[in-house]
Amino acid sequence: MSIDLSQFHQVFFEESIEGLDIMESALMELDVAEVDHEIINSIFRAAHSIKGGSATFGFKSVSDFTHDLETILDQVRDGRRNISKNDIDIFLQSVDCMREMISLLQAGEDGSTESTVELQKQFARMLENEQSEVPGQNAEEQTQQAEAQDCLATIKFVPNKEILQTGNDVVRMFLELQEFAEIVDIKCNTALPAFSEFNPEECFLSWELVVRSDRKENEILSCFEWVSDDALIEYVPQTSTTGASPSDAIAAQGLSSEGSTTESLSSNSVDVAQAKTLAEKEKQEKPKARAATGNKTTASESGSIRVGIDKIDNLINMVGELVITQSMLGQLGTDFEVNQLPKLVEGLGQLEQNTRELQESVMRIRMLPISFTFSRFPRMVRDLSQKLGKNAHLEMHGEQTELDKTVMEKIGDPLVHLVRNAVDHGIEMPADRLAQGKNETGTVTLNAYHQSGNVVIEIADDGKGLDRDMLVSKAVDKGVINQNEADLLSDEQVFDLIFHPGFSTAKEISDVSGRGVGMDVVKKNIQALNGAVELKSEKGAGSTITIRLPLTLAILDGQLVRVGGNIYIFPLVSIVESMQYKEGQVNEIAGGCNVFRLRDDYVPIVELHRAFGVHCDEQENALMVVVESDGEKVGIVVDELLAQQQVVIKSLEQNYRRVDGVSGATILGDGTVALILDIPGIVKLAGENFKAGQAFIASRKQNDLHQQQAVG
Amino acid sequence: MQVQGSNSASTTVGNAATQIEIEGQAGDSNDQYLTFIMADEEYGVDILCVQEIRGWESATPLPNAPTHIKGVINLRGTIVPIIDLRQCFGLEAIEYTAVTVVIVLKVKTEEGSRIMGMVVDAVSDVYALAQSEMRSAPDLGNAVNTDFIKGLVNVNDRMVILLDIDKLLTLDDVKSISKLTADMVSEAKS
């Protein structure tokens, strides 16, 4: 009976990707001058797990590739090979290559790519060099190897009973052993208990293997590395060269008994069904996601998050408290008397607190440290600075700052763009830096911290900063502003120009910049998350970009407003100010659009009741809320301002569809639904309504004309 | 509200006629249909689509929505749109009262299932109907779209129009049905 291993593929992919991340970050840490053994070990372990996993699942391309990589790493580990900067580059390339292979396998394709072949050739070259180098360097070892040439050894392998339950497969280990050594003889000892005590999931077998190999002991035993804690392994070299003749019968016996035990593997699997559905879901989602994001790391796309056990425990405590409060209130409710009113109020207060705490803890589950996003930057800055011939160093602070998972996923690409920009446009060439009396190595600093309910991410560089004159001349060239305006602009306003669509300060499009993600897209993405972006820069000293993001997308600080009988919610972040709406200050400009004089400025007005087609109160007491959308101020006329409160965002699209001018809905304290306004949408809507109105008037005029003609 | 006695399943009507629980299962081969009344005509929907039946409560209107979309309500934390089936079918609109009924349905669409509420005059009955009893809707040519009609069935000498909810409430089509249905109903009668 064969088991369907494909149900575990998803787990393997996830683990491998995690392993690759570990390898990558360890490689980044690795100092060529002083090799830290712990780091090498962690790289080796990650590679080894990937190799083992891929061999188990029959992904030969990956296992062959990792095997070669592992061999080299092993030499590094044993101190037989010196590692150079070039080697680290090759290892990093291999990590990329494996990532690609795994994502190919995930898509159900064969894992080999061109770079696989290329890198494998490089590995072979490295190994050859090593063989020619080593004899000269280490004569002792050479003799050891020569001695080992004909060596026969007996390996005694007595696994613990539980070995099968940890997913280890003895047959695979032996197959792997064959790669190092010729198995001359297999003896299988059974220690079967009485039938009543027999458990099919336990292993009662032990083996004695006679192997012939030119490899060293530790190399041969590396096959058993995974099970070294779960088994007794003895290696006894035999001096006599007259090995026992191979006993096929015993070998066959050993193998066949193994075959039956592998079946038990499937019953050990945890949540098979769940893994399967997950895998299927992933399969469906992956192609789409791949198409959209190309070769990016797949880690951020997976639909699961790991939650610390402390968070879960905390949550359970809260639910416990909630249950207690609920039962208290229930008891109070069964025979309620008026004199118990204070107790009821107290109970309700407690309930409120419980609910709020519970909500916060649940939100916290969705929070992940921002290091998930930051972790890709060291590598990126390194590669980028190498490619550009610059020296750049990345400093990161506040990696533990927590951020909602959805927000994090969406902020990844804009951040990549900003860091890229900092290295590409910010940091100068080493020679220029030295000429300016700066350190040859430029520094890009990523900083994340919490500030008043927001997450702030700063990307700072100590490069050349923005050049006001260049920006202005470019903006004038592109017709974004004219020369007269340019002289009046403050520095901030000039810097804001780089967020203008179609504005790129890059002189030419390279593969570093000009990838179609302009700064305007960055700004738009951040605004779509209800965030804000700011830029400070000093010529010659560098620039700092500050991104402010809400902690979560699920809750919004809202301003409740009333229009006629309806309640709507403004996102508080978009409101600039509110004021009395005075007819006297309204002017109608050409085209029928109303504007309002706000100090020295004129802002267009949107009457919400008109845009939404609802009734409103009399205009005398109307208020105007000035909001900012895409850098434009717009006045929105409403009847009354109500409370400010946090609202939970609910989707309208889930059961209905997108509604213009509305970004979502929420449920108010009294259980009714209120709509959350989509400010840019409303502005657009107002424009469309205006056009429709014009068309209506035009058609009516035409009708009148026809009628007159008919009468005439 | 009009509730007829039932033959195959028992229906209990709550105090304010807001909630009806349906119990009991008919034979396996038969599908069960919940029927409701609109303009003296009886319509049926697959009972497995029906999530619950509630009394009318005022909905929050959506801006610039077609008239048959009455707005959205809060259904235990989910935002659910409410459709007036009368207006959707081009029938005369009636005033909502405390006994106006909303049937909450789970509709399968291409993007997954959505929940919608449907305002009808009154809930009528639950019938177990075999596929064989069903007559297909009259083919009225290309002029009238009858895709959303699963079939016609005769119960106690009354015609019941069985609706295919998944097709009926695919929002984009709702509008196009409006008038056509009225014509079709009158033709089916004659």
What is the full DSSP assignment across A664-693? EEEE-TTS-EEEEE-HHHHHHHHHHHHHHH
In percent, the amount of chain A with pLDDT more than 90 equals 2
Q: Which residues contact A290 (CB under 8 A, 6 or more apart)?
A: A103, A107
Collapse the DSSP code of A543 into the 3-class scheme (helix H, G, I; strand E, B; otherwise coil) and give the result. Answer: strand
* Rounded Cα distance, A631 and A680, in Å: 10
Q: Are A539 and A467 a contacting pair, CB within 8 Å?
A: yes
Give the model's pLDDT for residue B181: 52
Tokens standing for residue A242: 């007259």
Interface of A with B in 685-704 (CB under 8 A): 685
DSSP for B150-188, written as a single string: EEEEEETTEEEEEE-HHHHT-HHHHHHHHHHHHHHHHHH
Q: Which residues contact A75 (CB under 8 A, 6 or more apart)?
A: A81, A130
Q: Given the structure tokens 């064989």, which residue do they identify? A: B132
Determine the straight-line distance between the first and last CA of chain B, rounded to whole angstroms.
27
Beta strands A601-607 and A632-638: pairing type?
parallel
Chain B residues in contact with A613 by the CB 8 A cut-off are 63-64
C-alpha distances in angstroms, A592 versus A95, A602, A694? 62, 15, 9
Give the model's pLDDT for residue A633: 80
Mean residue pLDDT of chain A comes to 74
Spans in chain B with pLDDT lower than 50? 1-28, 171, 173-176, 178-179, 182
User: CB contact, 8 Å: B72 with chain A?
Assistant: yes
The predicted-structure confidence for A96-127, as pLDDT tens digits, reads as follows 888 888 888 877 777 677 777 788 787 787 77
Beta-bridge partner residues of A451: A454
Chain B residues in contact with A661 by the CB 8 A cut-off are 63-64
Q: Which CATH class is domain B2-189?
A: mainly beta
CB atoms within 10 A of CB A367: 20
Query: What residue type is assigned to position A171 of the chain?
Result: V
* Least-confidence region, from A211-225, A605-619, A681-695, B140-154: A681-695
* Least-confidence region, from A205-214, A257-266, A459-468: A257-266
The predicted-structure confidence for A419-432, as pLDDT tens digits, reads as follows 888 888 888 888 88
Beta strands B10-13 and A673-677: pairing type?
unpaired
Give the model's pLDDT for residue B1: 41
Point out the residue among A655, A657, A674 whose CB comes nearest to the CB of B78.
Answer: A655
Give the model's pLDDT for residue A297: 36
User: CB contact, 8 Å: A665 with chain B?
Assistant: yes
Nearest CA in chain A to B82: A656
Indicate the pLDDT class of residue A282, thresholds 50, 70 and 90: very low
Q: Which residues contact A486 (CB under 8 A, 6 or more apart)?
A: A472, A475, A476, A494
Beta-bridge partner residues of A461: A444
Q: Given the structure tokens 């007794």, which residue do they identify? A: A232
Give the model's pLDDT for residue B146: 67
Q: Are B90 and B67 a contacting pair, CB within 8 Å?
A: no
Tokens standing for residue A167: 């997913």
Point out the residue among A612, A651, A667 whose CB comes nearest to the CB of B64.
Answer: A612
Listed in sequence order, the DSSP H helices in B21-141 are 85-88
Q: Which residues contact A48 (CB under 8 A, 6 or more apart)?
A: A66, A70, A225
Chain A residues in contact with B171 by the CB 8 A cut-off are 656-657
Q: Which residues contact A216 (CB under 8 A, 6 or more apart)?
A: A144, A145, A148
Are A656 and B81 in contact (CB < 8 Å)?
Answer: yes
Q: Given the structure tokens 């002029």, which residue do they identify? A: B143
Chain A residues in contact with B73 by the CB 8 A cut-off are 673
Are A656 and B114 in contact (CB < 8 Å)?
Answer: yes
Are A660 and B74 in contact (CB < 8 Å)?
Answer: no
User: CB contact, 8 Å: B171 with chain A?
Assistant: yes
Q: Which of B187, B186, B125, B120 is nearest to B156 (CA)?
A: B125
Are A656 and B73 in contact (CB < 8 Å)?
Answer: no
Helix or strand (DSSP H, E) at A698: helix A679-711
Are B62 and A661 in contact (CB < 8 Å)?
Answer: no
Collapse the DSSP code of A647 into the 3-class scheme (helix H, G, I; strand E, B; otherwise coil) and give the result. Answer: strand
Tokens standing for residue A183: 């198995």
Beta-bridge partner residues of A154: A210, A236
Q: Kindly tell me if the per-residue pLDDT of A17 is higher than 70.
A: yes
Point out the residue among A612, A614, A656 whose CB comes nearest to the CB of B72.
Answer: A656
DSSP state of A463: S
Give the model's pLDDT for residue B104: 92
Domain ranges of chain B: 2-189
Nearest CA in chain A to B172: A657
Are B171 and A657 in contact (CB < 8 Å)?
Answer: yes
Q: Mind telling me how many Å the CA of B74 is from chain A's nearest CA?
A: 6
Mean local confidence (pLDDT), A576-599: 75
Are B114 and A566 in contact (CB < 8 Å)?
Answer: no
Collapse the DSSP code of A108 into the 3-class scheme (helix H, G, I; strand E, B; otherwise coil) and give the result. Answer: coil
* Rounded Cα distance, A249 and A428, in Å: 72
Q: Mind telling me how many Å the CA of A665 is from chain B's nearest CA?
A: 8
Q: Are A612 and A661 a contacting pair, CB within 8 Å?
A: yes
Q: Are B62 and B145 a contacting pair, CB within 8 Å?
A: no
DSSP state of B169: T
User: CB contact, 8 Å: A652 with chain B?
Assistant: yes
A10 or A701, which is more confident: A10
Give the model's pLDDT for residue A686: 64
Indicate the pLDDT class of residue A707, thresholds 50, 70 and 90: low
Give the model's pLDDT for residue A696: 59
Q: Which residues contact B53 (CB under 8 A, 6 or more apart)?
A: B18, B19, B20, B101, B102, B103, B104, B123
Give the model's pLDDT for residue A560: 92
Q: Kindly tell me if the per-residue pLDDT of A149 is higher than 60.
A: no
Global confidence as pTM: 0.49
Tokens standing for residue A225: 């590395």
Q: Are B25 and B60 a contacting pair, CB within 8 Å?
A: no
Q: Which residues contact B153 (CB under 8 A, 6 or more apart)?
A: B44, B127, B129, B133, B134, B135, B159, B160, B162
* Rounded Cα distance, A531 and A545, in Å: 13
Q: Kindly tell me if the per-residue pLDDT of A141 is higher than 60.
A: no
User: CB contact, 8 Å: B77 with chain A?
Assistant: yes
Interface of B with A in 11-70 (CB under 8 A): 58-65
Collapse the DSSP code of B40 into the 3-class scheme (helix H, G, I; strand E, B; otherwise coil) and give the result. Answer: coil
* Least-confidence region, from A353-357, A376-380, A679-683, B59-63: A679-683
Tokens standing for residue A260: 């039956």
ipTM: 0.71
Q: Kindly tell me if the per-residue pLDDT of A299 is higher than 50.
A: no
C-alpha distances in angstroms, A665 versus A526, A568, A615, B111? 21, 9, 20, 20
Give the model's pLDDT for residue B6: 40
The predicted-structure confidence for A305-359, as pLDDT tens digits, reads as follows 777 788 888 889 889 989 998 998 888 888 888 888 888 888 888 888 888 888 8
Are B59 and A673 in contact (CB < 8 Å)?
Answer: yes
Q: Which of A649, A625, A651 is nearest to A638 (CA)?
A: A625
Q: Are A591 and A697 a contacting pair, CB within 8 Å?
A: no
